[in-house]
Chain A
Amino acid sequence: MYVAVKGGEKAIDNAHAWLAEERRGDTSVAELSVAQIREQLSLAVNRVMTEGSLFDPDLAALAIKQSRGDLIEAVFLIRAYRTTLPRFGATLPVDTGGMACDRRISATFKDAPGGQVLGPTFDYTHRLLDFKLAAEGEVVPVETGAPRCGPTPHITEFLQGEDIIQREPESDAVPGDLTREPMEFPSNRALRLQSLTRGDEGFILGMAYSTQRGYARNHAFVGELRIGKVPVEMEIPELGFAIEIGELELTECETVNQFQGSKTEPPQFTRGYGLVFGQSERKSIAMALVDRALRWKELGEDNLGAAAQDEEFVLSHSDNIQATGFLEHIKLPHYVDFQSELELVRKLRREAEERLKGEFTAQEAAE
């Protein structure tokens, strides 16, 4: 059966106009500018850039404004915009060792070279609402110290010196790209990391938390967490050499996990890795934990049947745009589908009633 219907157009236009009005809210209250969102809601901007998989703070701020602060809707807008961009190429891998760190902490080494730099963190705040912000907030001048020059070495390098931590195999292999080729399982670590970095923060957090609560036996320390800016270089064919094409703020997390050894690997520390756009430290730590849990096979660990060890489960459900697309489509008209369901259930009901009646009559006869 096929039924074509029309007639929603006017209602849709009116709904969109009302949406625009509601988005603006009370016009006696000043309108938010995109620059205000970019500067003052920067962690929301970072999340939209990470999950939208496009580094552009102005666009992310615009998307947040347009979506009335619904961050998944904003991610959707960024993903849609991204598909319209011609891709000029891939950059050289960023060198996070050369990061100009705003924040750099280690939970494993107190006296790490470069020091413990707290940066603009929520840690150690008392999580008490600050009613001063409800009034006009004046900014207190920030203390300064003698700026440190030169790169900040990764903390895992010190463990590597002792050969007591798993080494990351060096390679320049071109990684697969899940935005270009469909995902196939079993996957590989490059695709897993790409999927985790753009995955939903809530989902990745939940998966990571499950590994801490015992589903996948994974006791991690934050070996290092760093936030700051790194330059990005790309080879330019017409120049014949690489130039910097910009600078990105990134958050990087390396976790260190105790590992008692397996049939194939000696006892050592193992690693999980998280890298995301902007300042998104919860996401980067969660990513590192899930990355580590998904590495069970290469380390010769047992599959404990935990959800966080199942790459097909994790990667197939981490993308909030895929998820919300499928979830929300069920509210759209399914009149024809439902008509056939209705007929089917009525028929089944009729048959069941007739069967019951038949049984009842047979029983009566027997009595």
Chain B
Amino acid sequence: MSVQTTQFSGGFQNAPTDAAHAFRAAMTVMARPGETRELTGAQAPAPLSEAAATLLLTLCDPETGVHLAGGANTADVRQWLTFHTGAPLVSASKADFAIGTWAALCPLSTYRIGTAEYPDRSATLIVDGDTEANSEATLTGPGIKDAAHLSLPDIQTMQANAQLYPLGIDFFFTNGTQVAALPRSTQISVGG
């Protein structure tokens, strides 16, 4: 039988195992800024990448507000996300997770950065797609032996975010089936 594609397609084939593998990859890249991992298993409607779709299914549930920024906010994506995660769709200022291209996600000032008592009550951004306009950055800090390298969309903005530590936003970067991450604890300098 041919696979019928419906608004409900594109979930994990084996949710517990797939989600556990994906979580391991997500945790590894967040713990070791600069490293990239493969992230596969879920297919979302366009324009979301496979890595972004897999990340959403792994991290979101009915208690995490998700903001779909710009072109990511389509009827198909909304239905897909609701069916597979039950996550409520919220505005940028209330989001636990926000997803879209870098341009669509900006400005960062709209997202929650946590409070002194609960720094974890902050947004995690999933920057999905094209990295052509990115420039090379050198990363140092927790989880990095000596130095690591990652190409980032806007180094100045990222540096400003790191200044807020222990408050601030954390980032995943997804492209195709690849994921990398940048936590707020990482120090960033220009150039490779």
Contacts and interface: CB of A to CB of B under 8 A. Distances in A.
A and B touching (Cβ–Cβ under 8 A): yes
B62 A87 contact: yes
A86 to B, nearest CB: 6
A147 to B, nearest CB: 39
A180 B63 contact: yes
Contacts of B61: 86-87
A86 B60 CA distance: 11
Contact of B8 (A88, A90, A180, A238): A238
A86 B15 CA distance: 11
Contacts of A89: 62, 86
B165 interface: no
A85 to B, nearest CB: 11
Interface residues of A, number: 8
A238 B63 contact: no
Interface in A56-89: 86-89
A321 to B, nearest CB: 22
B83 A237 contact: yes
Interface in B47-86: 61-63, 82-83, 86
Nearest to A89: B62
Interface in A89-132: 89-90
A88 B82 CA distance: 11
B62 A238 contact: no
A224 B117 CA distance: 43
A243 to B, nearest CB: 15
A180 B61 CA distance: 13
A359 B190 CA distance: 71
Contacts of A90: 62
Interface of A: 86-90, 180, 237-238
Given A87-B63, A88-B62, 11 more contacts: A86-B61, A87-B61, A87-B62, A89-B62, A89-B86, A90-B62, A237-B82, A237-B83, A237-B86, A238-B8, A238-B82
13 contacts: A87-B61, A87-B62, A88-B62, A88-B86, A89-B86, A90-B62, A180-B63, A237-B82, A237-B83, A237-B86, A238-B8, A238-B82, A238-B83
Interface of B: 8, 61-63, 82-83, 86
Nearest 5 CB-CB pairings of A with B = A237-B82, A89-B62, A238-B83, A89-B86, A87-B62
